[in-house]
Amino acid sequence: MGAALEELLGGERGSLTDLADRFTQVGLGRIMASWIGNGPNLSISTTDLRRILGEERAQDLATLTGLSSEDFLVHLARQLPRAVHHMTPDGRL
């Protein structure tokens, strides 16, 4: 799961800024903002994560972890808010 988070948040095919932009594009910017800010982290559904990542990207990252796409998204929904919050200690990208 760590390798998938690294790829998603700072790998060759993406960055935290790219991911934040994608959240905004699909109308879920407030969720990402809660993770970046110092307040409580809003939760995200696997359905919303699939919309943000796209089917192909979700499957690619799932393959990297050895999990099914659905299992990967369940784990990602739990771990991504903390990872983003940890990467933005000052409340900024």
Domain residue spans of the chain: 2-87
Which two three-digit tokens encode residue 85?
A: 């919050």
pLDDT at 14: 84
C-alpha to C-alpha distance for 33 and 30, rounded to whole angstroms = 5
pLDDT at 52: 97
3-state secondary structure of 42: coil
pLDDT at 63: 96
Handedness of CA 54, 56, 58, 60 (dihedral sign): negative
3-state secondary structure of 41: coil
Q: Which residue has the tokens 């809660």?
A: 34
Q: How would you write the pLDDT of the chain (93 residues) with one tens digit per residue?
A: 999 999 999 877 789 999 999 999 999 999 999 999 888 999 999 999 999 999 999 999 999 999 999 999 999 999 999 999 999 988 888
Contacts of 77 (CB under 8 A, 6+ apart): 43, 44, 45, 46, 49
pLDDT at 93: 80
Q: Is the pTM of this model over 0.85?
A: yes
Specify the fold of 2-87.
Answer: Arc Repressor Mutant, subunit A (1.10.10)
